[in-house]
Amino acid sequence: MKKKKRIIGIDLFAGAGGMSLGARLAGIDVVLAVENEPNAAATYAFNHPNTRLIVDDIRNVKRFDFEWKNREVVLFGGAPCQGFSTSNQRTRNINNKVNWLYKEFVRLAKLVDPDWIVFENVKGIVDTANGEFIKRILADFKAIGYKCTSGILCAKDFGVPQERSRYFLMASNNGCALNIPRHINKCQITAKQALHDLPKLTNGANIDILPYKENASSAYAKMMRGNKTKCMNNLVSKNGPLIIDRYKHIPQGGNWENIPKRLMNNYANYNNCHTGIYKRLDENKPSVVLGNYRKNMLIHPWEDRGLSVREAARLQSFPDWYVFKGSIGYQQQQVGNAVPPQLAKYVFKALLTNV
């Protein structure tokens, strides 16, 4: 029987490491990663100690000093996505230079010549500039010899307790089209199933390590906890009294529209608020998209406060052993920007069925 080659991964725009963790969970050995932001890089290095990490602007990376020949390689990652987000209409255009960083992915794909490519981004990339970016991205990968398949996947369909949709492009250089994974046959995981056992916290909580509030009763919470008795990153932004007063008026599933007008007088026109502002999670449903959950004032299901970093990480499917570094603001940003590892795992598993 022919011995299978070792599958190795290279993570570009690695962030805090959500895609790398998903690749590892699928059985891929991630050997190299590139990340520019120092706090995200610190988080990545702590949680992926066996992966060589290049902390630099990807535009400065001209070569990789390791041997990848005679191994099957998957190159993966997602260029910065803020410029493609539907909540960022001002910069969703061709003139935004950040939107062109995907070209660096293509450049390094030409350098590495990987067997497989997995490129991800926010779903808003599909219709940015009337679809021009997607056309160019697909054309650029095709021009260097890759056959592409792409689609939008929702995290809640893959065991993640969150309504988060991402665009995935999967490509091969052997002429075969890869299959985008279908949703797994599991019930959707609710916010209550994800969060019920985590420590009870207050507004502005700043004690990093705490014991769990209770035993894990859901399969998801048990999976996230493993054999731990305490968890880290139990940090909550401190909101002022007016903000907390607003929280008290919002039922589960509600938003800013439930706040009395007398408490919204500091808004020039509060009717322009989008539906995600002051959203309280519904315990019986997956979470809404986290994104910038601090700025959006995303509210805990049962407590009148924002989400802790660990709670947000649970909703993103990061296990409790995964530690986030930096100040609370940087930790929140890392979690909000990440690709849910459980979603990434199923994408990589789908890829490996073609190996």
The residues annotated with a catalytic role in the active site are 81
Q: How far is CA 246 from CA 33, 252, 325, in A?
A: 42, 13, 30
Residues 174, 271: contact at Cβ < 8 Å?
A: no
How far apart CA 90 and CA 103 sit, in angstroms, is 21
- Burial bucket for residue 282 (CB in 10 Å: 0-12, 13-18, 19+): middle
How far apart CA 109 and CA 144 sit, in angstroms, is 8
Q: Give the Cα-Cα-Cα angle 285, 351, 78 (nearest 5 degrees).
A: 65
Half-sphere exposure of 100 (CA within 13 A, CB side): 5
Q: How far apart are the first and last CA of the chain?
A: 15
Residues 54, 14: contact at Cβ < 8 Å?
A: no
SS3 assignment, position 90? helix
Helix runs in 128-177, H state only: 132-143
Instruction: Return the closest-CA partner of residue 56 out of 133, 120, 108.
Output: 108
How far apart CA 96 and CA 124 sit, in angstroms, is 15
DSSP 8-state code for residue 66:
S
Instruction: Return the closest-CA partner of residue 114 out of 161, 69, 48.
Output: 69
How far apart CA 231 and CA 14 sit, in angstroms, is 24
* H or E segment and range at residue 39: helix 38-47
Helix runs in 250-337, H state only: 309-315, 328-337
